[in-house]
Amino acid sequence: MTKKYEVIWAKTAENDLVKIIEYIAHNNSGNALIILKKIKKRVNDLYYLPKRYRIVPELYDHGITQYREMIIKPWRVMYRISNGKVYVLSVLDSRQNIEDILLKRFTQNIL
């Protein structure tokens, strides 16, 4: 039997998602709701086999391997697995410079 993990959203990830949905809703509120449901459903599926997704390449290049990501185009959902829990840490637009965003968050200690 496969282990099931608890999925926990960090405040930073919740804020990222709110900003994304607000931005989309500004132009198309119906589409915003569809995207919100899509992201929440896909992320909540991390309870099952969360290691199936890749390690964040920008971090891996620096020897940091505890962070993984799920791609929900064009967004990247970053998370960490620890003690039977999946901590969702960020939801970022892949069209942005992810390395700069992560560096800023690490230095402010809010990843």
Cα–Cα nearest to 7, from 72, 55, 70: 70
Q: Burial of 52 by CB count in 10 Å (0-12 exposed, 13-18 middle, 19+ buried)? A: exposed
Full pLDDT tens readout for the chain, 111 residues: 678 999 999 999 999 999 999 999 999 999 999 999 999 999 999 999 999 999 999 889 889 899 999 999 999 999 999 999 999 999 998 887 777 777 777 677 655
Edge-to-edge strand ranges of the sheet holding 75-82: 6-9, 85-93, 75-82, 67-72
Which domains are assigned to the chain? 6-107 (3.30.2310.20)
Among 86, 79, 80, smallest CA distance to 5 is for: 86
